[in-house]
Amino acid sequence: MNIPNEPDCLDRDLRVPTAAAMRDLGRRLAGLLRTGDLVILAGPLGAGKTTLVQGIGEGLGVRGPVTSPTFVIARVHPPLAGSGPSLVHADAYRLGSVAEVDDLDLDTAGAVTVVEWGKGLAEGLAADRLEISIEPDPDGQTRTVRLTGHGARWK
């Protein structure tokens, strides 16, 4: 799997064969992310969304463990070294409207914010965003990941 560590990896389908490769993709994406960025993840249950966020957390160097926030809805992972952005990891699976996302009052200014199940709900959190869709292939192992940038930040 060849994942460029620059924005030209956008608008391409990436084939991710294992959970370890999904974490590696997350670590490499963390190198592209900066304070204030919004990442919206889409994909069915078990697609690897949280695994990708674990890699992003490792790449950002935040306090962990990074686990699914389905029942707590949002977690903040501060940087381990005291510098760099925090990771705000939210899960909109149980939310039904944009208003419920707004009610979370996520502090995204000093963080990289990643919202699982956020498509159609979290776009209003930032003018620019990176959308990542993850689809399991019929083989049950490999995932097809598509990264799509929106706004001036991702052009």
Q: How far is CA 42 from CA 31, 83, 93, 103, in A?
A: 21, 29, 10, 21
Of the ranges 1-10, 82-91, 104-113, 142-151, which one carries the lowest mean pLDDT score? Answer: 1-10
pLDDT at 33 (0 to 100): 95
Domains, the chain, in order of start with CATH, read 15-150 (3.40.50.300)
135 pLDDT more than 50: yes
Q: Residue 128 — pLDDT band, cuts 50, 70, 90?
A: very high
103 φ, ψ (degrees, to nearest 5):
-65, -20
Q: CA 9, 14, 17 angle in degrees (round to 5)?
A: 140
pLDDT at 36 (0 to 100): 92
5 pLDDT more than 70: no
Q: Residue 66 — pLDDT band, cuts 50, 70, 90?
A: very high
Which residue do the tokens 């926030």 mark?
Answer: 69
| Mean pLDDT, the chain, whole residue set | 87
pLDDT at 2 (0 to 100): 47
Q: How far is CA 82 from the centre of its chain?
A: 21
Q: Tens of pLDDT along 22-63?
A: 999 999 999 999 999 999 999 999 999 999 999 999 999 999
